[in-house]
Amino acid sequence: MWTSPAPSPVDGPLFGADTELLPAYLDHQRATLLNICAGLTGEQLALRPIPSSNLSLLGLVRHMAKVERTWFRIRAAQEEIEPVYDLALGKDHDFDDVDAALAAADVQRLRQECVAARAAAAGLSLDRPVQARDAAMSLRMVYLHMIGEYARHNGHADLLREAIDGVTNR
C-alpha cells in the first residue's frame, strides 16, 4: 500500500543575501508540508477530519501544486503553460475534488512543481516585476507571499494530521 514519502531534510543558511535565504526558507516550508503528510495513505490524506471544514491534507497538497505553478512558472517566469487545474472547474477545485486513488500522483505533482518552480525562478532578479491579478509585485514579494502561504497551510496541516492519527511535531 502506498504511503506518502518523507522529504529529504532541508537545512538552509541562517545568514546571507535574500537570494540565498528566501529560496532556502521556502524550501523548508515545502518540506514541512511533505513531512506532515509523510507515512499516510491516500485514504488518510483525503480525509476531512474537521467537520466544519472542507480541508484535507490532499487538498492542501493539490492547492500548493497549483500556486507553485501559478506564481513561479506562469507569473514570474512567464512560461506559456496551462494552470494545474482548469479554471472553469472553480477556484476551490484543488480543495474540493480530492480522490484518494490519485494521492500518489498529486503528491508527486507537488514535488515536480517545486522542482520546476525553483528552476523557473533561478537566475531571476528578486526585483523582477511579477504581475498578479490587480497589481505588480517584486519576485522578492512572491517569495514572501509563498512562505506565508505555506506557513498558513502548514498550520492547517498540523491540525489535520493530529486529527487523523494523533501525530504531532512534524
Of the pLDDT bands very low, low, confident and very high (cuts 50, 70, 90), residue 136 is very high
Helix axis angle for 18-37 and 139-165, nearest 10°, is: 20
pLDDT at 90: 87
98 Cβ contact partners less than 8 Å away, ≥ 6 residues apart: 45, 46, 56, 58, 59, 62, 106
pLDDT score of 58 more than 90: yes
**SS3 breakdown of the chain: % helix, strand, coil, rounded to 5?**
60, 5, 35
The pLDDT mean for the chain works out to 96
Q: Return the closest-CA partner of residue 67 out of 132, 146, 124, 130.
A: 146
pLDDT at 78: 96
Beta strands in 67-132 (DSSP E): 129-131
Q: What is the pLDDT of residues 82-118, one digit of tens each?
A: 999 988 898 899 999 999 999 999 999 999 999 999 9
pTM: 0.96
DSSP 114-128: HHHHHHHHTT--TT-
